[in-house]
Amino acid sequence: MKHLLKLLDLSSEEIFKILDLADKLKYERKHGIAHKRLEGKIMGLIFEKSSTRTRTSFETGIFQLGGHALSLNVSDMQIRRGEPVEDTARVLSRYIDGIMIRTSSQSEIEALAEFGSIPVINGLTDFAHPCQVLADLMTIREYKGRLEGLNMCYIGDGNNMANSLIVAGLKTGMNVRVACPKGFEPAQTVLEFTKQYGEKFTLTTEPKDAAKNADVVLTDVWASMGQEHEREQRVRAFEGKYQVNDELLSYANEGCMVQHCLPAHKGEEITACVFEKHSDEIFDEAENRLHAQKAVMVLLLEDK
């Protein structure tokens, strides 16, 4: 593994290796065992979109590993004044040891990885959110003791979260059921990928069908960052049907978990009541961003 650009690039073994190391780093952190495995390494954190969790967990994570974070706002960089991404990649590779980037374009981060000589980590694009989904897998495994054979259900927009969850769920042996309104399906490349999994993947417009016998239900906002101008149209498409609420969860298995990447729009994709009932699981999920990303940074940067 040279980069973390999307989970489609990773084997099941690589995903489980990240999760196992994340568990170990979490244990060590909780027990006061220092693990400065990236002493002196510098991560550049490039943000083009808002962030609470990603920024804080990456900065904290690299510090805990003995390294440093350099926060860069993409609008202050020459890349947004026309400097080619291939030149930006080659320059940054001369100064720092790794890049985490949050931006819209998946192809831009793929180009950074191609032309630079340091690891690139996707901190969210319009296509994928692999760091979040690694934390989700880690949390599900903590609560359920395994991933293989579980029924994962995603309700809502076929967005970056849906794309990454589908790939991650199938690669780790889960059955994945997704309910999206017509016209809001996951990316075509992801749907192509699911074909090799046959009946282990289902796409429907009926949330109740997707939630039946679920062990974990996940959701995300109806309008992602950058889609604010589509908000009204999206509310019309999702409202009254694509919501994680008590009634929907009555179709799920006993002890079904609920996960939300956050930030949540309570009253839209999830009710406040369900959110609070499952808040331990949801905030453990948020915490696990830290541990999962530390594992990714160690695997990509250590001994390099």
- Catalytic (active site) residue 261: yes
Selected range binding ligand NVA among 83-91, 159-167, 177-185, 293-301, rule: CB under 6 A: 159-167
Restricting to residues 39-98, which ones interact with ligand CP according to CB under 6 A?
51-54
- Rounded distance between C-alpha atoms, residue 265 and residue 273, angstroms: 12
57 lines the binding site for ligand NVA (CB under 6 A): no
From ligand NVA, ligand CP, none, interface partner of 224 (C-beta below 5 to 8 A by class): ligand NVA
Residues 16-55, one symbol each (x = binds ligand NVA by CB under 6 A, - = not), give: ----------------------------------------
Nearest to 61 by CA among 46, 85, 41: 41
How far apart are alpha carbons 264 and 272 in whole angstroms?
9
Pick the closest to residue 207 from 168, 171, 252, 162 (CA basis): 252
132 in catalytic set: yes
Contact present, 67 and 298 (Cβ < 8 Å): no
Q: 25 is written with which tokens? A: 């780093």
The yes-or-no answer on residue 68 being catalytic is no
**Binding site partner of 271, from ligand CP, ligand NVA, none, Cβ cut-off 5-8 A by kind:** none
Crossing angle (nearest 10°) for helices 130-144 and 12-30: 70
Q: Work out whether 250 is an interface residue with ligand CP (CB under 6 A).
A: no
Choice from 225, 237, 264, 299 touching ligand NVA (CB under 6 A): 225
Give dist(CA 270, CA 59) in Å, integer.
Answer: 29
In contact, 97 and 39? CB cutoff 8 Å: no
* Rounded Cα gap, residues 220 and 229, in angstroms: 18
Share in percent of the chain as helix, strand, coil (round to 5): 50, 15, 35
- According to DSSP, residue 196 is labeled G
Q: Residue 115 pairs with which residues in a beta bridge?
A: none
- Catalytic-residue membership of 131: no
Site mask, ligand NVA, residues 172-211, x = CB under 6 A?
----------------------------------------
50, with CB counted inside 10 A (0-12, 13-18, 19+), is: exposed
Per CB under 6 A, which of residues 233..262 are in contact with ligand NVA?
261
How many beta carbons lie within 10 A of that of residue 106, not counting itself? Answer: 19
Residue 52, contacted partner among ligand NVA, ligand CP, none, CB below 5-8 A by kind: ligand CP
Our finding on whether 264 is near ligand NVA (CB under 6 A) is no
CA distance 118 to 93: 6
Size of the site for ligand CP (CB under 6 A): 8
Q: Which stretch binds ligand NVA (CB under 6 A): 60-68, 107-115, 205-213, 216-224?
A: 216-224
Q: Would you call 177 a catalytic residue per the annotation?
A: no
Choices 57-65, 68-76, 78-86, 153-161 (CB under 6 A): range interacting with ligand NVA: 153-161
Residue 122 interacting with ligand NVA (CB under 6 A)? no
Residue positions annotated with a catalytic role: 102, 129, 132, 220, 261, 289
Residues that bind ligand CP (CB under 6 A): 51-54, 124, 132, 261-262
Binding stretches for ligand NVA (CB under 6 A): 124, 159-161, 220-221, 224-225, 261
